[in-house]
Amino acid sequence: MLENLDLQNLMVIDIETVPQYSSYEELPEQMQHLWALKTQHQRKEETPDAFYERAGIWAEFGKIICISAGVFTKGQPAGFRVKSFAGHDERELLVRFAQVLRDQPQNLVLCAHNGKEFDFPYICRRMLIHGIQIPPQLQLSGKKPWEVYHIDTMEIWKFGDYKNYTSLSLLAAIFDIPTPKDDIDGSQVGHVYWNLNQLGRICTYCQKDVIATAQLLRRFRCQDLIPEENIVIVEPAC
């Protein structure tokens, strides 16, 4: 599976998102109303303010605070290089990430876990909100399915089973990949950002997800894991 994929022309990415405001009370009144409407089916018995800690999931109410990207490097054994774009100014980090993509071939393959439902559309939506032109590798409009170079490791694992959701943590466990969830998980990112002001900690967590996804892709190709000593984190990380 995926034997013909050129890993030298592939970038693994992961994003971390948080609510745009530190609390529901800071949300503008109009947006409070729209938030209640947007989440009325998901909230069930919860009030809009109690549910706001999950606002980072929606691109209309959240923002990106970190994008980590990794590329495979040549050599035997294989290597992997990770760089992060992080900060409190979302527009600035998106501009920097967009420029990196524009410097790459247009047929660069983008890979993420659950990327087709979350990471890729979220990045595109936030770029448009900030008036940033979407790089060719993320554009879908007017393209045929075989012209979209996106790989989703969760979709691969589904094998056509559309009702199946499998977390990266579970796949890492069954494929004996070092877990990326040894500190925090996605549900804690907003608290760590807004209450603890620990962006660097979130950045490290995001990088671990990218590495785990890259290792999972290797497992899907029935290849050995990349040795830890061959994984390079480009500094400064965040």
User: Tokens 């109303």 identify what position?
Assistant: 33
pLDDT computed for residue 165 by the predictor? 86
Summarize the confidence of residues 165-173 as an average pLDDT.
93
Summarize the confidence of residues 1-28 as an average pLDDT.
94
For residue 146, name the pLDDT band (cuts at 50, 70, 90).
confident
| In CATH, 7-20+61-233 is 3.30.420.10 | yes
Check residues 181 and 173 and name the one with the higher pLDDT. 173
pLDDT computed for residue 196 by the predictor? 94
Does 2 have pLDDT greater than 80?
Answer: yes
State what percent of residues in the chain have pLDDT above 90: 83
Average pLDDT along the chain: 93
Summarize the confidence of residues 44-58 as an average pLDDT.
94
Phi, psi of 231 (to 5 degrees): -100, 125
Does 82 have pLDDT greater than 70?
Answer: yes
For residue 1, name the pLDDT band (cuts at 50, 70, 90).
low
Summarize the confidence of residues 156-177 as an average pLDDT.
91
Does 237 have pLDDT greater than 60?
Answer: no
Does 36 have pLDDT greater than 60?
Answer: yes
- Alpha carbons 222 and 3: distance in angstroms, whole number: 9
For residue 154, name the pLDDT band (cuts at 50, 70, 90).
very high
